A and B are shown apart, each in its own frame.
Chain A
Amino acid sequence: QLHLQESGPGLVKSSETLSLTCTVSAGSITISSSSYFWGWVRQPPGKGLEWIGSFYYSGNTYYNPSLKSRVTISVDTSKKQFSLNLTSVTAADTAVYYCARHVRTVTRIEGVNWFDPWGQGTLVTVSS
């Protein structure tokens, strides 16, 4: 059964770069189906879910417009890992960060986007 696990520093200083890695096991990150993307979602303490961005292993990447200027998602297929970099962080970036498989099919008739499974999440605190 596909499993995702986030890893990275739990504490980042304000104005620096937040870097997290998601490791995929019991499955392939390079699934040839164009429906399988990989994404990041975050949740500030006590608040709701916010999509950060998603990518397809061979190129297509989509970012939340509100974060686009600060976000980069990259992949290392040999390690079955993908990573999140968020620059110039502030206290507002303190959150639990989740990685997840993003199943996506968009046609002229309908759009389908969902996340399953999710990693367990990792709390990142931005300190001043």
Chain B
Amino acid sequence: SYELTQPPSVSVSPGEMAKIACSGDVLPKQRAFWYQQKPGQAPILVMYKDTERPSGIPERFSGSSSGTTVTLTISGVQAEDEADYYCQSADSSGNYVVFGGGTKLTVL
């Protein structure tokens, strides 16, 4: 089965930069997407097609791609950014969706 690998946790102080990486063999042919999930809430899309930011998502969120790794960057982290972040893509056929294991972002 296809897998996406993320670090289980990232910790930063307010105002610092947070980077969350996600690696998978079929990236970048299968584009990557990022979701933010706060406790008790449904996930929301914060980045699509590796680097595109949906309307309504703050500019401090950005995405990048290099080889088989995509990275979600949050510049000037705020307390409200504390959440779980999931990357998501698909297998080589594009027919079967896969989520990464999730990264808990802690704002110290």
Contacts and interface: CB of A to CB of B under 8 A. Distances in A.
A48 B99 contact: yes
A10 to B, nearest CB: 15
Main secondary structure of the interface of A (DSSP, over half): strand
Contacts of A50: 99
B86 A106 contact: no
Contacts of A106: 90, 93-95
A98 B44 CA distance: 12
Nearest to A66: B1
Contacts of A51: 96-99
Contacts, number: 79
28 contacts: A48-B86, A48-B102, A49-B86, A49-B88, A49-B99, A51-B97, A62-B97, A64-B96, A66-B1, A98-B42, A98-B43, A102-B97, A106-B93, A106-B95, A110-B29, A110-B30, A111-B31, A113-B30, A113-B90, A113-B97, A114-B33, A114-B48, A114-B88, A115-B33, A115-B88, A116-B48, A118-B42, A121-B42
The 10 closest A-B pairs by CB, nearest first: A111-B94, A106-B94, A51-B97, A118-B42, A114-B33, A49-B99, A111-B30, A116-B45, A48-B102, A113-B90
